[in-house]
Structure 1
Amino acid sequence: MQYQEITHHYGPRVHLVDNPFLSGLLAQLCSPQTFQPQINSLVEILYTHLISMVVTNEFDVEAFKIPTRMTEAHPGIELEGTRTARKQKAVCVNLARAGTFPSHLCYNFLHFALEPQNIRQDHIFAARITDLDHHVTGTHLGSVKIGGDVDGAHVLIPDPMGATGSTLVSSINYYKQKVQGTAKKFIALHLIVTPEYLKNVLTAHPDVVIYALRLDRGLSDKAVLRSPAGQHWDQEKGLNDLDYIVPGGGGFGEIMNNSFV
């Protein structure tokens, strides 16, 4: 393990990052006094760190031996070490619209670790389905652009806010049911998640690996908040009546795009 995690009871597939630097930046991102272009600058720093953690911990490694600029002067002496295995496959999934910029960041980052021909970016246009009381009841996948199979690939889904889990569940359902091949791993990369999100996603897809920089359960009772995360999972609450995260940071799709619809 290359970084600290918050102790919790959500199971081994959930990784809640404990990093004061990133926590401070995320708090700044959630402030009502933070606007563009600072918003996307903060998102870039946060997701660069997050994808680095995921590659380090979830991807295979290989040994390497290469010459350096000094090898000509000292023949036979080369650099040896380990690195991310370059022939692995990866797919970044853009969940428009909050996930568009994070997916692009992760897609670009992967080119420094893997062979470019083994990386691609897919696109899913998803929208919440709500009832008359504005509660989320599901996800509508408006259209998709899938560039091939996912056989043996790490499928990365960067989506800033893991609120209800409906979009992630629907997207993974689509890959498992409609896209050829069996993915090596489905990995979700979030800035914030709720206990409700974790329960819904892991119930539907217990094979998913989840990384998040923060867990928000701000509407839980005070006694629950004093307990370790997940110890009283069924009593934890991070969503308000409109299924927005509390304390959260508002609608990230809105603030990242300056489009409040």
Structure 2
Amino acid sequence: MRIHQVDHPLIAHKLTQLRDENTTATGFRQLTNEIVQLLAYPATAKLPTAPKSVTTPVCETVGSELSGETPLIVPILRAGLGMLEGMSKFLPEAEVGFLGMVRDEQTLEIETYAERLPADLTGRHVFILDPMLATGNTMVAALHYLREAGAASLSCICIVAAPEGIAQLEEHAADLDVDLYIASLDEGLTETAYISPGLGDAGDRLFGTSS
């Protein structure tokens, strides 16, 4: 697994605002979209291209265009939905799928409760969206699910990550050839598995359901 912590003044500025408990749901959604687009820039750098001839107002020239299988964006429900708009604006050529996953409190296994993906992911580059990589269990399950469905390349885009989550990916998804793009590697998890300093409950803050 390759970890890319994107160090940029605009990301640091916007992330500070995102962390602020006084940021409204509207502001939180806007900042999330802006940060996602900044993370998407390096995350899409390896997409394949092919030469393309084009006629400008001055002359003919050769540029490039995206080639190969159509990229797929997969937000992890529900918090990942808050990242979809920003990613789709940055990569409008991509298709969109969805994964909903939850932990069974008795078996502690991750179960898939919702799935809307193309029938065949063979050769596809998949971008998985989740604002926070906490324990890493859900992301590991999602990565294996998508690889088994045929995905050729896997890129995770998370805003903040905990060392525990990264360790989980390194242990249980090392064979999947994954790129992880994050804005911040935070200190760690609290006793209740919240990332510290983190963002709080990103899903609640995105959709205005926090108390």
Task: Confirm or deny a common fold (TM above 0.5).
Answer: yes
Which of residues 245, 251, 256 is equivalent to 2:195?
Answer: 245
2:95 to 120, 133, 154: 120
Residue 223 of structure 1 aligns with which residue?
none
Question: For the structure 1 residues 84 and 128, does the alpha-carbon distance in structure 2 shift closer, same or farther, using more than 3 Å as the test?
Answer: farther
Match of 1:80 among 35, 45, 62: 62
Asked if 1:184 is matched to 2:155, the reply is no
Other structure's SS at 2:114 match: strand
C-alpha spacing 1:52/1:84, structure 2 compared with 1 (3 Å): farther
**Amino acid aligned to 1:195:** P
| Secondary structure, aligned partner of 1:37 | helix
* Alignment match, 1:6: none
Which is richer in strand? Answer: 2
Provide, for residues 158-196 of structure 1, a one-character-per-residue CA deviation record: whole Å limited to 9, x for no partner.
11101111111111222233x2x3x22111001001111
Matches of 2:8 and 2:73, distance apart in 1? 24
* Matching residue of 1:171: 142
Residues 37 and 90, structure 2, Cα contact 8 Å, conserved in 1: yes
Give unmatched runs, 5+ long, in structure 1: 1-10, 72-76, 218-237
State how far apart, in whole Å, the 2-side matches of 1:93 and 1:142 are: 15
State the AA in 2 paired with 1:79: T
Name 1:60's counterpart in structure 2. 48
The superposition leaves residues 38-87 of structure 1 with CA deviations (integer Å, 9 ceiling, x where unpaired) of 1111111111111122112x21233333111x24xxxxx22334x45234
SS in 2 for 1:144: strand
**Hey, what's the Cα distance between the residues in 1 that align with 2:85 and 2:137?**
22
Structure 2 unaligned spans of 5+: none
Would the alpha carbon gap of residues 84 and 138 (structure 1) be closer, same or farther in structure 2, given more than 3 Å must change? farther
- 1:16 and 2:14 are equivalent in the alignment: no
**Distance in structure 1 (CA, Å) of the matches to 2:27 and 2:73:** 24
Report percent identity of matched pairs: 25
Q: Is 2:183 the counterpart of 1:213?
A: yes
Q: Secondary structure at the match of 2:71?
A: strand
Give me the whole-angstrom Cα distance separating, in 1, the residues matched to 2:75 and 2:119: 15
Partner of 1:34: 23
CA–CA separation in structure 1 for the residues paired with 2:68 and 2:105: 42
Residue 110 of structure 1 is matched in structure 2 by 91
Q: Tell me, yes or no, if the aligned pair for 1:17 and 1:211 is still in contact at 8 Å.
A: yes
Contact in 2 for aligned 1:155/1:187 (Cα 8 Å): yes
1:121 CA drift (Å)? 1.2
Equivalent pair of 1:151/1:184 in contact (CA under 8 Å)? yes
Pick 1 or 2: higher relative contact order, CA cutoff 8 A, min separation 6: 2
